[in-house]
Amino acid sequence: MPQPTVHCPRPPTVVDVVAGALIDASGRVLIAQRPPGKALGGRWEFPGGKLHDGEAPYDGLVRELREELGVEVRSAERLVRYPHDYPGGRVWLDMWIVSAWSGEPRGLDGQALKWVQPGRLHEEDILEADQPIIAKLQEGGGRL
């Protein structure tokens, strides 16, 4: 007698992501445009990326901003950590305010960069996952 086919749903993907808000002397925050061909290409986000297995969030932030922007983080403080659900997965976003860095940020992955006043971030096409960050930056102007 044939066995019935059992379909087990695949568990949703969970990804740990770290991102940084670099804030310049004028109080503007740096955002990066996702390159064409990537998921959500053309939309804006705060620079960062996926943590490696077992990597501490601060260490991941330092690595990601070095790889993505060519800057060396000197000082950063966690702003907020929260989940965001996408179809098929959940992202845990760990957001940091980067108060000191060396080097001039540049898009090493070919991404466009832009400095924006926190009060104008709502005018940009920023990813839904980053919307709570905008609210936090506007509350405190990026100053903790």
In Å, how far are 13, 19, 128, 131 from 91, measured between CA atoms?
8, 12, 12, 14
Residues 57, 77: contact at Cβ < 8 Å?
Answer: no
Q: Is residue 57 part of a domain?
A: yes
- The domain of 46 spans 13-127
Residue 4 lies in a domain: no
Q: How many CB atoms lie within 10 A of CB 18?
A: 29
Residue 81 is assigned to a structural domain of this protein: yes
CA distance 71 to 116: 18
Q: What pLDDT sits at residue 5?
A: 60
Task: For the chain, report the end-to-end CA distance as a whole number of angstroms.
Answer: 67
How far CA 67 is from CA of 9, 20, 53, 103, in Å, comes to 36, 13, 17, 12
Residue 73 lies in a domain: yes
pLDDT tens across 16-36, in order? 999 999 999 999 999 999 988
CATH code assigned at 122: 3.90.79.10
Residue 59 lies in a domain: yes
Residue 119 backbone dihedrals phi, psi, to 5 degrees: -70, -10
How would residue 141 be classed by pLDDT, with cut points 50, 70 and 90? Answer: very low
CB of 101 closer than 8 Å to CB of 71: yes
* Total of domains in the chain: 1
Tell me the per-residue pLDDT of 71-82, one tens digit each, with 9 for 90 and over. Answer: 999 999 999 999
Higher pLDDT, 122 or 39: 122
Per cent of the chain over pLDDT 90 is 73
Q: Looking at the domain assignment, is residue 84 inside a domain?
A: yes
